[in-house]
Structure 1
Amino acid sequence: MSPFEHGEVFVLDDGGESVIEKERRGDYLGKTVQVVAHITDAIQEWIERVAKIPVDGKEGPADVCVIELGGTIGDIESMPFIEALLEPLELQWWENTQAFQMHIFLF
């Protein structure tokens, strides 16, 4: 499959292709996959899932989950990730956590 024709395919560490697999299963009911909503939701689900993975042989989720979003503000490639991290602020996603802190640095 050419990325120029179908978009770039990102394979996760576990071998999954999240948005593509959901589309192939019919989760989007034949509709076009949207960046805002479908892809940003997939990014948020991935963040929540990864944040709950036990580390250092401990039971339960880690005490801290640090997310670093690199790239340049304004680049279209990073916009789904920026939107995925900004949506929780609007939806008050952090109310279910003990602490939520976001630092945004513009260069």
Structure 2
Amino acid sequence: MSDLRAELTEILDEAEWEWLIPHVQRDAVILVVPELSLVDVGVAIASDKIPSVQQWIDEQLITKPTTVQVGEWNCSRSKRFNTLIVQPYVLVQEITAVSAK
């Protein structure tokens, strides 16, 4: 398991919205809320941890992008995402600007 976690951590990357469009078109993108770790979700999916994945789906912590989200991202083509490929899926988290306090 630690080898899988290390491998997924190694391939964690950033992507521009335009790079993700073909994956959205083939319905392969899974949006992960910022409160979850992309690596944790990737390990669970790759290891067939169905109860964990189903719980995240039920709680809407991992979802398919909505048409509204896709529309917003199309309008802001400079949008960036943290990404992790776990075949056949591309897990993504929006990168948001951190507001200064």
| Interval containing the TM-score (normalised by the shorter chain) | under 0.3
Structure whose residues are more often strand by fraction: 2
Q: Which has the larger radius of gyration?
A: 1
Please give the TM-score of this superposition, normalised by the length of structure 1.
0.21
Please give the TM-score of this superposition, normalised by the length of structure 2.
0.22
